[in-house]
Amino acid sequence: MLRITGSKLLIVSIFFILTLSQPILSFAVNNPIRFSQAQPIILNGLKDASYVAIGTGYDTYKMHEHINFSNSTDTSLIYLDPEIAATGIIGEFALGYGKYLGKSKRAYAGVEVFVSGSGADGDFEVERPLPKEFDYEINKDVIDTDVIVNGSLGLYFVPAFLINKYSKLYFKLGYSWSLVSIDETTRVCREFDCVAVEVDQDKVNRGFTYGVGLESAFYDEFSLRAELINANYTAFYTDSATKVDPSSFRYLIGLVYHFKL
């Protein structure tokens, strides 16, 4: 069975970015851009246009774990709430369609679908407090969690408005799915004798996504954009009965090419 990991998705995303950027960069070198001649988005014949976008940035995936430990000597519970942050580079490819609205054509509404590959990963180790009679140096209960973000896909509704003849401020409201690999290892050590139980699983998180961005035209059908995207995913339980509340925050910059249908 072929397993698509985050590194593979990231490599594919970077390949698309490099492949699509090469003719654009070559054109820019042979045709120096004078910003005074750049056409604003609303006046360049793209009032109703499709677009493709490639981008890269920084991915921060956070997990709040809710762990209930049962004390070794009595029936009391010890509650721990650690936070894990998996961070790394992200690559994204998006396809969308937008339409300018109103008599002034300053309002905008669009839809967008995207797929991304992430290189974000992180780990966290938490120890269970033991009674005082236990020698801490040779008696430990430890849970080690390793998180790898493989990638995500989703769709957005994109309302926007022009802030000047070259730029628009836009918002993204949508839903996304994210594939995450979780490796959770529980180690119980007594008098240097340790027993480890490892649980490795893939989870598809899903939840609402929202963000804000700024896009500016710089030459004909090309524009640049920068955006901040947040996703709140539904909580889930790992196979070790640990409850997890995940969320993510992405910083992205991208190149957009607009084309008529």
pLDDT in tens, 21-50: 455 445 544 554 443 344 444 444 345 789
How sure is the predictor about 190, in pLDDT bands with cuts at 50, 70 and 90? low
Q: How far apart are CA 81 and CA 65, in angstroms?
A: 5
pLDDT higher than threshold 60 for residue 70 = no
- Other residues' Cβ atoms within 10 Å of the Cβ of residue 173: 12
Give this prediction's pTM: 0.73
How sure is the predictor about 19, in pLDDT bands with cuts at 50, 70 and 90? low
Instruction: Name the residue among 94, 109, 97, 13 with its Cα closest to residue 52.
Output: 94
> Measured between alpha carbons, how far is residue 37 from residues 24, 31, 218 in Å?
18, 12, 9
As a whole-number percent, the residues of the chain with pLDDT over 90 amount to 30
- Other residues' Cβ atoms within 10 Å of the Cβ of residue 234: 10
Q: Which domains does the chain show, CATH number per domain?
A: 6-259 (2.40.160.20)
- Other residues' Cβ atoms within 10 Å of the Cβ of residue 123: 14
Please give the mean pLDDT across all residues of the chain.
76
pLDDT at residue 210, as a whole number = 95
pLDDT at residue 132, as a whole number = 55
Q: What torsion, rounded to 10 degrees, do the Cα atoms 137, 138, 142, 147 define?
A: 80
pLDDT digits (tens, 9 = 90+) for 162-183: 888 888 999 999 999 998 888 8
How sure is the predictor about 102, in pLDDT bands with cuts at 50, 70 and 90? confident
Q: How many CA atoms lie within 13 A of 247 on its CB side?
A: 10
Q: Which two tokens stand for residue 83?
A: 């936070």
Q: How far apart are CA 142 and CA 128, in angstroms?
A: 6
Q: How far apart are CA 227 and CA 215, in angstroms?
A: 9
pLDDT higher than threshold 50 for residue 154 = yes
pLDDT at residue 39, as a whole number = 44
pLDDT at residue 46, as a whole number = 47
Residues 6+ apart with CB under 8 A from 200: 181, 182, 183, 184
pLDDT digits (tens, 9 = 90+) for 202-214: 888 899 999 999 9
How sure is the predictor about 242, in pLDDT bands with cuts at 50, 70 and 90? confident
pLDDT at residue 218, as a whole number = 85
pLDDT digits (tens, 9 = 90+) for 72-101: 444 445 556 677 788 899 999 999 999 888
How sure is the predictor about 130, in pLDDT bands with cuts at 50, 70 and 90? low
